[in-house]
Amino acid sequence: MDFRFTEGQQDLIDAAKAFFDGENTIERMRKTVAGEQVSNLWPQFAQLGLLGIMAPESAGGLEQPLVVMAGIAEAAGYAGVSEPYVEIAGITVPHAKKGELSGPIQRAMLSDLRPYIDASLAESGEVVNSIDPLRNLVKAKDGNDENAESANVHGAILTAAQLIGLSQRMVDMSVVYAKDRHQFGKPIGSFQAVKHQLANVYTQIEFTRPIIHLAAIKGGAAVHNAKVAAIDTAMLASETAIQVHGGMGYTYEVDLHLFMKRAWALCGEWGDRNYHMKRLEDYVLNGDAELGPGQTFN
Amino acid sequence: MTLREEFSQWMTENFRGEYECLRGRATPGDEDAFPGKRLEWERELGKAGWIGVGWPKEYGGRGASLDDIVGFNEEYAAHGGPGRAGHIGETLLAPTIIAFGTEDQKAKYLPGIKAGTEFWCQGYSEPNAGSDLSNIKTKARLENGQWIIEGQKIWTSLAMDSDYIFVVARAEEGSVGRHGLVFLLVKLDQAGIEIRPIKQMSGTAEFNEVFFDGAVCEQEDIIGGVGEGWKIAMALLGFERGASTLGQQMTFADEFRQIVELAKKNGASQNPLIRQRIAKAYAGLKIMRFTALRTLEAAETGELTKEGYMSKIYWASWHRDLGELAMDVMGASAETLEDGEFNKLQKLFLFSRSDTIYGGTNQIQRNIIAERALGMPKEPRGGGTVIKG
């Protein structure tokens, strides 16, 4: 099995990342939270081909596999993009009917695994406030779309990818802070009590990414594995990042909370930890999994 | 036929009969099992050309691609092949000699490694050079065309079964840290060397102390120049790119399978907490596998990946946890010795206590990850000696 992105795919992911990081600045996030007018990114998503990443070529899309979308979702997570871009491009579009793809799609897939959806994707619904101040949610209608099972897989994988992007952002912010902040006459980042915690998070991130990509390529139990691993990574990242930032990390003024809150919000979307853990347990212990050394030739 | 298929067939035909006793044995924690048989088995592998499959053809290897080397290691483990007595020579020293050695050294040392008749061990750690590895005190001085070696190495795996040791020693009087070191190739069977096994808490003795009291090697038996010992020592560690990690994971997979079987048999698998830990262990095994595959793919294209820094701490911590899971699945009987000795899972638990220590403790690994991968400020170093490099 080959996980490597082709040069073209990597270029696509890099371009998306540059766009997200360049446009969705901290300043823009702060303005959004304050309810001020901010730039509309949707025309640019469309123009750059980002909406049609997974759409068939016949509909003008790039027809890329889910694993490429996972790479882009990680970048969106890192930048803290609050528009439901990943939802549209990675979940709704690939499950849309042929006719729908000719116009802009503004709806969310219905699934019992995701009880709240972005308000911009629903015609109506009871408003729900999120712990993430950048998300405007409404209660989703009960029930499942006919493609809900596949949407659940896309949702879990792309949420996991966003979570490790967010985790990496929190690590990067913490590294910058730990180099700058001095105590006992030294940068706190030189102390093992601080640097070892960040090393742990970074290790988790690097080891979680391949299983997310595997899940995107092969599906199956790897999907549950990926979501659980990403949740654990994101929880460890946020717990560590706030500790490294000390009291400042608890303030509204320091930007860390914007990313922590997004991570906490996404942990429960498209199947929370208990949901995926239970399925993983059943897979391993109820006879589906082939165990032992002869069984890993895939 | 792919190399994997060819090797699988060879294992089916040859790993049987008198070698049956080695099945699944001599893995870490059990490396002192059947020493004589293991060395014979190495000669079988050598005779059939299965040592050095990844070496370039001009040195007698098969020039196999990384994919093939992975396939080779996986088949070996899947067939239950025993821990490899020759892996230090084959996967660490040989690539170092090929990259940095002289033509004479290649001609002198590679054939014995390839034939499975000459075994090597690694002389790096010392009583006061553990985590602070560059604090080496063993000395080497040149006299009448020979290096004379005085000092002590410790934690030397498999020294009791080896013919040679590569030794990092201090050659420049008054030098400190990474400077002034030399990388020597030394025959073990000589008057100036004494090997003492270290009995471990598992009851086995895989590690040794090696004492040098006027031991000698020839002037030309060094890799690199005087002062380049550290560079060569670190380059050697860099040759371990993880192909054998995938073989190691097959051993882990087998241990995991045994734990699950026991849990199903004794009812522990009904316990929700045990179920969750088993599922976590399974998840970790898959995560390690696909991370290693990705690292290898990157290595093939020459990209440098940061996973290299992280694989040791990940597998060591995973395996430590697996040992604890094994004990909890055994429950109260984990305390008792059936047949008066440790069973396989008890051995796993005991040996996995050392995983997070040998080859660089978890704490040293975290320093490396934080400083090299994350670029965090270096730890304030004590002792008043600042070593640059």
* A 155-174 near B (Cβ less than 8 A): 171
Domain ranges of chain A: 162-287
pLDDT average, residue stretch A216-231: 96
pLDDT average, residue stretch B132-142: 96
B246 and B290 housed in the same domain: yes
Lowest-confidence segment of A119-128, A181-190, A249-258 by average pLDDT? A119-128
Phi–psi pair at B230, nearest 5 degrees: -65, -45
With respect to residue B380, please indicate whether it lies within any of the assigned structural domains: no
B253 and B339 housed in the same domain: yes
Contact A4 B301 (CB under 8 A): yes
Task: Write the secondary structure of chain A as one string of H (helix), E (strand) and C (coil).
Answer: CCCCCCHHHHHHHHHHHHHHHHHCCHHHHHHHHCCCCCCCCHHHHHHCCCCCCCCCHHHCCCCCCHHHHHHHHHHHHHHCCCCCHHHHHHHHHHHCCHHHHHCCCCCCCCCCCCCEEEHHHCCCCCEEECCCCCCEEEECCCCCCCCHHHHHHHHHHHHHHHHHHHHHHHHHHHHHHHHHCEECCEEHHHCHHHHHHHHHHHHHHHHHHHHHHHHHHHCCHHHHHHHHHHHHHHHHHHHHHHHHHHHHHHCCCCCHHHHHHHHHHHHCCCCCHHHHHHHHHHHHHCCCCCCCHHHCCC
| Domain A162-287 of CATH type 1.20.140.10 | yes
Contact B260 A291 (CB under 8 A): yes
Measured in angstroms, the CA of B375 and the nearest CA of chain A are apart by: 8
A111-169 pLDDT, tens digit per residue, is 999 999 999 998 888 999 999 999 999 999 999 999 999 999 999 999 999 999 999 99
**Tell me, what's the pLDDT at B322?**
98
CB of A295 less than 8 A from some CB of B: yes
With respect to residue B107, please indicate whether it lies within any of the assigned structural domains: no
Mean pLDDT across chain A: 94
Set of chain A residues whose Cβ sits within 8 Å of the Cβ of B378: 190
Contact B250 A296 (CB under 8 A): yes
**Tell me, what's the pLDDT at B389?**
38
Set of chain B residues whose Cβ sits within 8 Å of the Cβ of A295: 253
B216 and B132 housed in the same domain: yes
Set of chain A residues whose Cβ sits within 8 Å of the Cβ of B293: 1, 3, 210
The confidence band for A9, taking pLDDT boundaries of 50, 70 and 90, is very high
Between CA B135 and CA B156 the distance in angstroms is 17
B273-297 pLDDT, tens digit per residue, is 999 999 999 999 999 988 888 877 7
Between CA B264 and CA B269 the distance in angstroms is 5
Q: Which of B44, B240, B307, B371 is catalytic?
A: B240
B155 and B52 housed in the same domain: no
Check whether A103 has a pLDDT greater than 90. Answer: no
Contact B283 A229 (CB under 8 A): yes
* Among chain A residues, CA nearest to B260: A285
Measured in angstroms, the CA of A116 and the nearest CA of chain B are apart by: 28
**Tell me, what's the pLDDT at B70?**
83
The number of domains in chain B is 3
In chain A, the largest separation of any two C-alpha atoms, in whole Å, equals: 65
Check whether B69 has a pLDDT greater than 90. Answer: no
With respect to residue B185, please indicate whether it lies within any of the assigned structural domains: yes
Mean pLDDT across chain B: 91
Set of chain A residues whose Cβ sits within 8 Å of the Cβ of B255: none
> What is the value of pTM for the model shown?
0.91
B144 and B196 housed in the same domain: yes
With respect to residue B137, please indicate whether it lies within any of the assigned structural domains: yes
- Pair of tokens at residue B86: 């020759």
Closest residue by Cα to residue B330 from B339, B342, B320, B340: B342
The confidence band for B81, taking pLDDT boundaries of 50, 70 and 90, is very high
B229 and B245 housed in the same domain: no
Contact A190 B77 (CB under 8 A): no
- We report the CATH number of the domain holding residue B333 as 1.20.140.10
CB of A148 less than 8 A from some CB of B: no
Pairing of strands B164-170, B120-123: parallel
**How many contacts (CB atoms, under 8 Å) link A and B?**
145
B328 and B353 housed in the same domain: yes
B50 and B151 housed in the same domain: no
With respect to residue B30, please indicate whether it lies within any of the assigned structural domains: yes
Out of A210, A284, A292, name the one closest to residue B279 (CB): A284
B369 and B260 housed in the same domain: yes
With respect to residue B383, please indicate whether it lies within any of the assigned structural domains: no
Q: Which residue, among B2, B5, B131, B287, would best test binding to A if mutated, counting the most A CBs under 10 Å from its CB?
A: B287
With respect to residue B225, please indicate whether it lies within any of the assigned structural domains: yes
With respect to residue B388, please indicate whether it lies within any of the assigned structural domains: no
B34 and B132 housed in the same domain: no
B334-371 pLDDT, tens digit per residue, is 999 988 989 999 999 999 999 999 888 999 999 999 99
Contact B288 A207 (CB under 8 A): yes
Measured in angstroms, the CA of B370 and the nearest CA of chain A are apart by: 5
Between CA A267 and CA B217 the distance in angstroms is 61
Is B173 considered catalytic here?
no
B363 and B326 housed in the same domain: yes
CB of A243 less than 8 A from some CB of B: no
B255 and B356 housed in the same domain: yes
CB of A211 less than 8 A from some CB of B: yes
What ipTM is given for this predicted complex?
0.90
Domain residue limits at B367: 241-373
Select from B197, B213, B237 the last residue of a domain: B237
Work out the burial of residue B337: count CB atoms within 10 Å of its CB; fewer than 13 is exposed, 13-18 middle, 19 or more buried: exposed
The confidence band for B307, taking pLDDT boundaries of 50, 70 and 90, is low
| Residue appearing with tokens 């895939």 | A298
**Tell me, what's the pLDDT at A295?**
53
Contact A195 B78 (CB under 8 A): no
The C-alpha angle with vertex B221 and arms to B219 and B222, in degrees rounded to 5, equals 100
